[in-house]
Amino acid sequence: MTSDNATAVTSELEDLAQGIADQAESFLLALREIARSGDRGTAVPLLLLEVSQLLLAGARLGVQTDFVPSERFEPDAGPDPDLDLMRERLAELLEGVDDFTEVFDPYVDPPELVSSRLSDDLADIAASVAHGLRHFRAGSTQEALWWWQFSYVSSWGAEASASLRALQSVIAHDRLDAAEIGEIEASRVAAADDI
């Protein structure tokens, strides 16, 4: 990777940036494929997996000391990707579970409840990590690390955490509510057999 600021970035930070870039790219590819597939049966579990993996990358950024960009102004990384079609496909795919409510900040008293949509949050997360990925691909490792870290702390980390909780809740309801219904039905069948 060639860059004017390559000498200011240690090999350890290069490895970190490469790992974040790999995870960002994997998330973006998987999100597009999930949205394109239209497979409602696997969408939520796969999204849970992808968001979990991206949050691991975010946590790696969160424990670092603050990255400082080498330039005072952000260099142009090129046009933002058009994610509207993916957002719409995700909304269709997640119909019935797309809307959710979360606690915005657990340390505010009283807690503020915020309504959100998985499809919107996932597309916003994708836009944020894609922006950093464009800086990385352009050879601006420091700018990419700064952007990923800043956007993780200020936006996509919270969006991904809320999305993860919502996705996990969908899976829990699917598995646990089905088990409860199964137990109720089994007891009714047993009662009917006794009669």
pLDDT recorded at residue 118: 97
Residue 156 DSSP symbol: I
Q: Which of 152, 130, 175, 170 is nearest to 57 (CA)?
A: 152
pLDDT recorded at residue 94: 95
- What residues of the chain score a pLDDT lower than 70? 1-9, 69-80, 178-195
Q: Which of 121, 8, 29 is nearest to 71 (CA)?
A: 8
Rounded Cα gap, residues 150 and 144, in angstroms: 10
pLDDT recorded at residue 62: 82
Under CATH, which architecture does the 6-98+118-164 domain have?
Answer: Up-down Bundle (1.20)
pLDDT recorded at residue 76: 63
pLDDT recorded at residue 26: 97
pLDDT recorded at residue 22: 96
* Three-state DSSP state, 147: helix
Task: Compute, in degrees rounded to 10, the torsion defined by CA atoms 46, 165, 80, 21.
Answer: -70
pLDDT recorded at residue 160: 97
pLDDT recorded at residue 173: 83
> What are the structural domain ranges in the chain?
6-98+118-164
pLDDT recorded at residue 70: 67
The contacts of residue 42 (CB under 8 Å, 6+ apart) are: 34
